[in-house]
Structure 1
Amino acid sequence: MTPRYYFYLSYGHSARLRADDRPDTDYWAGHLFSELSAEVARQVGADRRTPVGYYDDLVEPMTDWKTALAGVLSSSDVFVALYSPGYFNKSWPLRERASFASRYADPAMAERFLLPVLWVPWPSYEHEDEREAALRLARDIPEYGDEGLQAMSRLSLYRREYRTIVRRLAREIVARAAEAPRPAPLAVAIDEVTAEPTGRAEILFTVAVLAPAGRGWNPYRERFPIAEYVANVAERLGQPARVVDRDQGLADGAALVLVDPALAATAAGTDRLRGLARRLPEWASVLLVADDEPGRGARLHAAVADTLVAAGVERGRITLIGDSARLVERMPSIIDQACTAYRKSAPVFLPKGPDPTLPNISGGESSDD
Structure 2
Amino acid sequence: MTSRYYFYLSYGHSVRLRADDRPDTDHWAGQLFNELSAEVAKLVKVDPVTPVGYYDDLVNPMTDWKSTLSGVLSVTDVFVALYSPGYFNKSWPLRERASFTGRFGDAAAAEQFVLPVLWVPWPRWEHEAERAAALRLGARVPEYAEEGLQAMARLAMYRRQYRTVVQRLAKDIVAAAAIAPRPAPPAVAIDEIEIEPARSTEIQFTVGVLAPSRTDRPSGRTAAPYGPTPRSWNPYRGVQKFPVAEYVANVAERLGQPARIADRATDLSHLGDGAALVLIDPWLAGTTAGRQRLRELAERLPAWATVLLVADHEDPEYATRGARLHQAVTATLTAAGVALSRITLIVDIARLVDRLPSIIDTACTVYRKNAPVFLPKGADRALPRIAGGEGSDA
TM over 0.5, shorter chain: yes
Q: Aligned-pair RMSD on alpha carbons?
A: 1.9
Partner residue in 2 for 1:293: 315
Counterparts of 1:368 and 1:256, CA distance in 2: 53
Which stretch of the first structure deviates more once superposed, 330-339 or 341-350?
341-350
Q: Deviations over 1:36-82 (max 9, x none)?
A: 01111111111111100000111111211111111100100000000
Partner residue in 2 for 1:244: 262
User: Do residues 232 (structure 1) and 250 (structure 2) align?
Assistant: yes
Give the alignment of 1:75-154 within 5 angstroms.
75-154=75-154
Partner residue in 2 for 1:14: 14
Kept after mapping to 2: 8 A contact 1:208/1:248: no
Counterparts of 1:6 and 1:330, CA distance in 2: 33
Q: What SS does the corresponding residue of 1:9 show, helix, strand or coil?
A: strand
User: Do residues 196 (structure 1) and 196 (structure 2) align?
Assistant: yes
Residues matched between the structures, number: 366
User: Do residues 329 (structure 1) and 354 (structure 2) align?
Assistant: yes
TM-score scaled to structure 1, two decimals? 0.95
Q: CA deviation at 1:319?
A: 0.5
Partner residue in 1 for 2:49: 49
Counterparts of 1:218 and 1:230, CA distance in 2: 12
Kept after mapping to 1: 8 A contact 2:99/2:193: yes
Q: Deviations over 1:211-248 (max 9, x none)?
A: 00211111111321111111111111111110011423
Which stretch of the first structure deviates more once superposed, 114-123 or 269-278?
269-278
Q: What SS does the corresponding residue of 2:341 show, helix, strand or coil?
A: helix
Q: What SS does the corresponding residue of 2:6 show, helix, strand or coil?
A: strand
Partner residue in 2 for 1:255: 276
User: Do residues 302 (structure 1) and 327 (structure 2) align?
Assistant: yes
Q: Which amino acid in structure 1 is aligned with residue 22 of structure 2?
A: R
Q: Deviations over 1:84-122 (max 9, x none)?
A: 000000000011001100000132120000000000000
Q: Which amino acid in structure 2 is aligned with residue 235 of structure 1?
A: E
Kept after mapping to 2: 8 A contact 1:205/1:241: yes
Partner residue in 2 for 1:223: 241
Which stretch of the first structure deviates more once superposed, 203-212 or 353-362?
353-362
Q: Which amino acid in structure 1 is aligned with residue 93 of structure 2?
A: P
Q: Deviations over 1:159-198 (max 9, x none)?
A: 1111111111111111111111110011101121232212
Counterparts of 2:361 and 2:331, CA distance in 1: 25
Give the alignment of 1:265-276 within 5 angstroms.
265-276=286-297
Q: What SS does the corresponding residue of 1:103 show, helix, strand or coil?
A: helix
Q: CA deviation at 1:367?
A: 8.2
Q: CA deviation at 1:360?
A: 5.5
Partner residue in 2 for 1:173: 173
Q: Which amino acid in structure 1 is aligned with residue 54 of structure 2?
A: Y
Q: What SS does the corresponding residue of 2:80 show, helix, strand or coil?
A: strand
Counterparts of 1:39 and 1:92, CA distance in 2: 27
Q: Deviations over 1:267-300 (max 9, x none)?
A: 3322221221111111111000102326535433
Counterparts of 2:101 and 2:84, CA distance in 1: 19
Counterparts of 2:42 and 2:125, CA distance in 1: 38
Q: Which amino acid in structure 2 is aligned with residue 285 of structure 1?
A: T
Change (3 A) 1:106 1:276: closer
Counterparts of 1:266 and 1:189, CA distance in 2: 39
Q: Which amino acid in structure 2 is aligned with residue 218 of structure 1?
A: N
Gap runs ≥5 in structure 2: 214-229
Q: CA deviation at 1:358?
A: 5.2
Q: Which amino acid in structure 1 is aligned with residue 245 of structure 2?
A: A
Change (3 A) 1:202 1:356: farther
Counterparts of 2:195 and 2:381, CA distance in 1: 38
Kept after mapping to 2: 8 A contact 1:2/1:71: no
Change (3 A) 1:22 1:361: same
Counterparts of 2:354 and 2:250, CA distance in 1: 14
Kept after mapping to 1: 8 A contact 2:298/2:333: yes
